[in-house]
Structure 1
Amino acid sequence: MTAVSPKATGIHHVSITVNDYERSRAFYTRLFELLGGQVVMDVVGAPHKHEGCRMMLLAAGTFMLGVWEAAPEHRGRAFDRYSVGLHHFAIALDSRASIDEVHRRLVEAGVEILDAPAEYPYAPGYYAVFFSDPDGIKLELVHM
């Protein structure tokens, strides 16, 4: 019998929880359209807990994002990326020009830009833009 050597191939998806589902639904649908992606699921009665809550799944390239409606008892809580939990997530793009174009469209849409497109010292050739979603969750688009 041959031993199996498991090997990760990447992150399949990240899921976030949002206060105002409709507001976030519109934001993430538009963002993923800009990235060449789409909504692949949008349901009421999410399949795990809080059956009355809504959930959507979006896909762009090999990345998927789940957006969950907060349970009623948790709605209204502010996101704090320096508390335990998610700090931010990054989506890889195919070129610097793509990052610049998406940045331009985000600015046109009134999205809060945290850090404009630039080279950052995290790794050689690291080019990124940082911005916030409607709940203040930090997002990054990066090309290396």
Structure 2
Amino acid sequence: METQELHRGRLIDHIQLVVADLPASRRFYEAIFAVLDVPIGGSADDYFWADELFVSTADSAAALGQLTGRHHLAFQARDRAMVDAFHAAGLANGGKDNGAPGERPYHPGYYAAFVIDPDGNNIEAVYHGEADRSAASVEIRF
């Protein structure tokens, strides 16, 4: 498997989700990543990846035969419109609403939406607002 670019100094190097229905997951993630401007980096019959997210089947050589548990992943968006588009794309491609786009009390300007993916993961898109453009997405919500 190739990599697009190596980023040293990040807290997270990569994340793997092991899913029950790879085509459903791929449809969901391709749709939300299209609106977040994140390309799918590669794929095979039993996995696909985008940036530092690797998604595979349980019988993939990259997995240990077990589905991963429920996770919360937050992806950064460029603006509020991108958060809105993420939410709509997620719902239209097998996701379930877990929080419509809107301001959250985490800090001023925190605008986010939450969608449950086909395997029950809580997937978020967040825009931190103009006043806090340098802030990283570190919020954890279970």
Tell me the TM-score normalised to structure 1 length.
0.68
Q: In structure 2, do the counterparts of structure 1 residues 68 and 13 end up closer, same or farther at CA, with 3 Å as the change threshold?
A: same
* Map of 2:87 onto structure 1: 103
The 2-side partners of 1:15 and 1:65 are apart by: 6
Cα distance change of structure 1 residues 104 and 29 upon mapping to structure 2, 3 Å threshold: closer
- In 2: Cα distance, 1:111 partner to 1:71 partner: 24
**Is the 2:27–2:93 Cα contact (8 Å) retained in structure 1?**
no
The AA in structure 2 aligned to 1:88 is H
Pair 1:70-2:62 in alignment? no
Aligned-residue Cα RMSD (Å) equals 2.5
Matched, 1:133 2:117: yes
Overall identity of the aligned pairs, in %: 33
**Would you say the 8 A contact 2:28–2:95 is kept in 1?**
no
Q: After TM superposition, give the deviation of residue 57 of structure 1 in Å.
A: 0.9
The question of whether the paired residues in 1 share the 8 Å contact of 2:94 and 2:117 is answered with no
Matched with 1:24 is 25
Structure 2 spans left out of the alignment, 5+ residues: 1-7, 129-142
The 1:30/1:105 distance shift into structure 2, 3 A limit, reads closer
**What count of residue pairs does the alignment treat as equivalent?**
118
If you compute each CA radius of gyration, which structure gives the higher value, 1 or 2? 1
Q: Which residue of 1 aligns with 2:49?
A: 57
Aligned partner of 1:121 among 105, 125, 128:
105
Bigger fraction of residues in strand: 1
- 1: CA distance, partners of 2:74 / 2:30: 17
Q: Deviations over 1:32-73 (max 9, x none)?
A: 1222222211125xxxxxxxxx221113xxxx3110111399
